[in-house]
Homo-oligomer: A and B are copies of this chain.
Amino acid sequence: MGVHVTYHHGNLRKELLDRAAIVIADQGIDALSLRALARDLGVSHAAPSRHFKDRATLLAALATEGHQRLTDALNTAADAVGDDPVARYNALGCEVIRFALRNPAYFSAIHHPEVQRHSARALEEARVAYGETVRAAAAAAQAAGWHPDEDLETLVIFSSATALGAANMLIDDHADAHLTEAELNDLAAKIIRRVIPASTKEL
């Protein structure tokens, strides 16, 4: 009688994260509710607590995954432009903005204040890995002649700040929806070129 197709969902953790990403992407991070998530997936209101102690923990998991994906995306983008360290760092900047626009949920989870303080092991590691990817690329660009007289720390903060700020601003503009994806990419490229040229030759 009771056709218990699945008492155990089997895969809830992953589906919670995926669904959360969708909800955040189109309703914003504040609209994320654990109970609503549970309803969407057809489980009871307390089921999520088996996987995430609370809202902040779920967001931290999203941020961790976001950091990993972002780091991967950056490496891929850099490799796609070849060996020139300046071109590679330029590509990193562009990719940060593109990633933010394509993955608003990961991006906002990464930078959400509630998550910033939440320090879990996995999250810390993902953060560090990301930071080192950026730092190493910046150091290589500097060694290739990019602002040789400025200290590396300042350059990293400067370029990260520009990419971060640009991503935020473009996400807002995107919401107002009067820019195509191509236009956004062009604009991003122009902005990053103010930070670092697209190749060593232009230095």
Contacts and interface: CB of A to CB of B under 8 A. Distances in A.
Given A154-B190, A158-B191, A191-B154, A166 B165 contact: yes
Interface in A150-188: 150, 154-155, 157-158, 160-166, 168-169, 172, 175, 187
B30 A194 contact: no
B162 A169 contact: no
Interface stretch (A63-71, A74-82, A111-119, A134-142): A111-119
Given A114-B28, A154-B187, A154-B191, A169 B175 contact: no
Given A162-B162, A165-B165, A166-B165, A116 B172 contact: yes
Contact of A168 (B114, B147, B164): B164
Interface of A: 28-30, 111, 113-114, 116-117, 147, 150, 154-155, 157-158, 160-166, 168-169, 172, 175, 187, 190-191, 194-195
Given A29-B113, A158-B194, 13 more contacts: A28-B113, A28-B114, A116-B175, A117-B175, A147-B194, A150-B194, A155-B194, A157-B166, A157-B187, A160-B169, A161-B164, A161-B166, A164-B168
